[in-house]
A and B are shown apart, each in its own frame.
Chain A
Amino acid sequence: MRRIAAFFLVAALTGAGAAVPVPDLDVGQGGHCVNDPQVMRQNHMKFLYQQRDETVRQGIRGGKYSLAGCVDCHASKVNHSVLGSDRNFCQGCHTYAAVKIDCFECHSSQPRALSAAQREGGHP
């Protein structure tokens, strides 16, 4: 099922299926990702699951596929979050792909370096 969803997403992002407009994402700081963007679009959930299990259960830290790392680079500079609107990095694409995102019920959707004042104003 995920593979089918990823296929449609990739097809849409490359312009193959023009019926639904591609999300216009606010990539935040952006720059070089930890892997090729196309690989990340298709496989970020697998990388995140793998690293999360290694960190939580075995205590392996410092891996490159860190959720906090995603947020640090991709939080919008407008509301300091990856959530909030369909332009925000995580929410925008997940809304488009109709995949529920529940990471941020527990994890912070704001960058680690954010000051307390900025945290107050942004999306939780």
Chain B
Amino acid sequence: MSDQPDASRRQFLSRGTAATAAVAVAPGVLLYDFARARPPAEPASSAVRWGLLIDTTRCDSGCDACVSACREENALPLPLKPTDPQWIRKVELQQEGSGRKVSLPMMCQHCAEPPCVDVCPTGASFKRADGIVLVDKHRCIGCRYCMMACPYKARSFVHEPVEDHSGATPRGQGTVESCTLCVHRVDQGRAPACVDACASEGHRALLFGNLNDPDSAISQRLRSVASVKLRADLNLDPGLSYVGL
């Protein structure tokens, strides 16, 4: 009697995984994700850590599909007034000397050690078990301490009364908000709206996935290409990484 598993069974299992990983249902949505989505009644688990890999070499400076998709998904106000919230914004960078230009989306970096959570006096700012950093607006008193603490300027304060409640995320005057990594979509096994929008435009500059799974597309890509975390010197361990900076 052998301790080795049956060879044909092993092949079957590996083929099955490869097939589900490869089948795309819609842009940015893979069957693989559905297979891994946890049941709705289960809490988010720390076995998963959600992250984004942003490939700036694929990001078009004239394109703001990710920003528009975010505004539409979360019913953020448009046209933009100076005091209106921004959950994601496009940033253009130019290197001194060479003049090399880079375009990239900036948003909450979903840190493993989020300073916004450290400073929040009410416990409103929190990190979910799966690494998504959120504001519990039921507890937020609008002190904006988290906005001061965030080195990425990722959070916004809602100054005006909210008229449009059609968005996926409840929003209200007097609270702080930021990118939720489209937590409502993630809980359904879907990718964030910005990721799907970028894929629909054909750029595929945003790759979303589970950083704790060594076989996920994002983990494999992080292993194969050089990427950086923004302000890595602060040791916040962001969930977002950038390629081509």
Contacts and interface: CB of A to CB of B under 8 A. Distances in A.
Interface of A: 52-54, 56-63, 104-110, 116, 119, 124
Contacts of A107: 165, 170
Contact of A58 (B129, B166, B173): B129
B137 interface: yes
B134 interface: yes
B34 to A, nearest CB: 15
A56 B123 CA distance: 13
Top 7 nearest A-B pairs (CB, nearest first) are: A106-B172, A108-B165, A59-B44, A62-B40, A58-B43, A61-B40, A106-B170
B96 interface: no
Contacts, number: 54
B78 to A, nearest CB: 15
A56 B165 contact: no
A57 B136 contact: yes
B171 A106 contact: yes
A119 B161 CA distance: 18
Nearest to B162: A106
B166 A108 contact: yes
B126 interface: yes
Contacts of B91: none
Interface in B150-202: 161-166, 170-173, 175, 183, 187
Contacts of A106: 137, 162, 165, 170-172, 175
Contact of A124 (B126, B136, B165): B165
B205 to A, nearest CB: 27
24 contacts: A53-B138, A56-B134, A57-B126, A57-B136, A58-B43, A58-B128, A59-B129, A60-B42, A60-B43, A62-B41, A63-B41, A105-B161, A105-B173, A106-B162, A106-B170, A106-B171, A106-B172, A107-B165, A107-B170, A108-B165, A108-B166, A109-B165, A110-B165, A124-B163
Nearest to B130: A59
Contacts of B183: 59
A108 B126 CA distance: 24
B75 to A, nearest CB: 10
A52 B138 contact: yes
A59 B166 contact: no
Contacts of B161: 105
A110 B173 CA distance: 19
Nearest to A68: B170
Contacts of B163: 124
Contacts of B165: 104, 106-110, 124
A52 B41 CA distance: 13
Contact of B128 (A52, A59, A109): A59
Residue among B129, B161, B170, B183 with max Cβ neighbours from chain A (10 Å): B170
A60 B162 contact: no
A62 B37 CA distance: 14
Contact of B41 (A53, A57, A60): A60
B92 to A, nearest CB: 34
Contact of B44 (A52, A58, A119): A58
A99 B173 CA distance: 20
